[in-house]
Amino acid sequence: MENKARTVLLLLSALFAGAAGAAAPPAANPDWTAPQAPFKIYGNTYYVGSKGLTSLLITSEFGHVLLDGGLPENARQIAANIQALGFKLNEVKAILNSHAHRDHAGGIAELQRLTGAPVYVRRPSEAVLRTGKLVANDPQFGTKGADFPPAQTVWIVSDEQWLGVGSNRLQAFATAGHTPGGTTWTWEACEGTKCLHLVYADSLSPVSAKPFKFTASKAYPEALADFEQAFQRLEALPCDVLITPHPEASGFFERIAQRDAGKPETLKAEGGCKAYAQAARAKLAERVASEK
Ligand SMILES: [Zn+2]
């Protein structure tokens, strides 16, 4: 395919992924379920998700952390990816979630069954994980096909809380707006003496079910304030390697390809978390204007 045509196609598919999001039936984007061979991102942090939905494994001698479970139909694939890297499922000691939508939390119940690990989320996500149903204050509440299998053991972490799992320490940051429980997770990964700040920054897209207004929701009146807090948070975080639940939202696979082509510095996203937050702020401003 000619380069220009390919660029347009990529752009179109990115737009489609962004715009359709969870508002369409999940299988609408074939990348979301397309298999992806697992690989090392940096140090003890591995990509174990599908082509279009991120799941991460952070390993240690004393237990691993799994971040996000993709769609329900992705769970087996994620488990197989963990094993393909040489790790055991029963060594996963905690499952964390970015936000409680079907495309990132749908596979968690099955992964919990396979690993025996408890789930840790912020309070607004807890009921969603436990019931598999969106709560009325979720901007996408009422979307058809949004339910997913409920998880069993779900513990609550608070904003800025540290979570120690094995020899890793991760910190949770409230970055809500896309959902009321949206959470960004950060940790350090090292290769030799070189340690990097990894940031799994949650989705910040103002996507909603039809009747929802970010400017005037009785169910979620804090939506705009939450978004602004999330932007400021991300702008302030130490952020060497940005990773996002939808990899294309931060050009992740392009960066990995460049890195693998012998340019290790490209693992760091240009502008990093700041650029990600600023782009999201602009998108929200557009959405707010359209609601008037
Ligand atoms: Zn979502």
Asked whether the predicted pLDDT for residue 145 surpasses 60, the reply is: yes
Check: CB of residue 89 under 8 Å from CB of residue 82: yes
Q: Would you say residue 17 lies in a domain? A: no
Find the 176 Cα to ligand 1 centroid distance in Å.
11
The pLDDT of residue 278 is 97
Find the 187 Cα to ligand 1 centroid distance in Å.
22
Structural domains counted in the chain: 1
Please state, in angstroms and rounded to a whole number, the distance separating the CA atoms of residues 193 and 199.
19
Find the 267 Cα to ligand 1 centroid distance in Å.
24
Domain that holds residue 137: 28-290
Q: How confident is the model at residue 270 (pLDDT cuts 50, 70, 90)?
A: confident
Q: Would you say residue 16 lies in a domain? A: no
Lowest-confidence pick of 11-20, 168-177, 181-190 = 11-20
pLDDT tens by residue, 37-71: 999 999 999 999 999 999 999 999 999 999 999 99
Asked whether the predicted pLDDT for residue 5 surpasses 90, the reply is: no
pLDDT tens by residue, 26-41: 457 999 999 999 999 9
The better pLDDT of the pair 269, 261 is held by: 261
Asked whether the predicted pLDDT for residue 13 surpasses 90, the reply is: no
Q: Would you say residue 19 lies in a domain? A: no
Phi, psi of 77, deg, nearest 5 = -65, -45
Asked whether the predicted pLDDT for residue 14 surpasses 70, the reply is: no
Radius of gyration of the chain (CA): 18
Please state, in angstroms and rounded to a whole number, the distance separating the CA atoms of residues 170 and 160.
10
Find the 42 Cα to ligand 1 centroid distance in Å.
26
Mean pLDDT across the stretch 125-150? 96
Find the 209 Cα to ligand 1 centroid distance in Å.
11
Find the 22 Cα to ligand 1 centroid distance in Å.
6
Find the 121 Cα to ligand 1 centroid distance in Å.
15
Q: Would you say residue 23 lies in a domain? A: no
Q: What is the DSSP string of 92-135?
A: EEEEE-S--SHHHHTTHHHHHHHH---EEEEHHHHHHHHHSS--
Q: Would you say residue 2 lies in a domain? A: no
Q: Would you say residue 172 lies in a domain? A: yes
Asked whether the predicted pLDDT for residue 248 surpasses 70, the reply is: yes
Q: Would you say residue 22 lies in a domain? A: no
The pLDDT of residue 2 is 40
Question: Minimal CA–CA distance to 240: which of 270, 201, 268?
Answer: 268
Find the 1 Cα to ligand 1 centroid distance in Å.
32
Find the 23 Cα to ligand 1 centroid distance in Å.
9
Asked whether the predicted pLDDT for residue 288 surpasses 80, the reply is: yes
Specify the CATH number for the domain of residue 107: 3.60.15.10
Q: Would you say residue 202 lies in a domain? A: yes
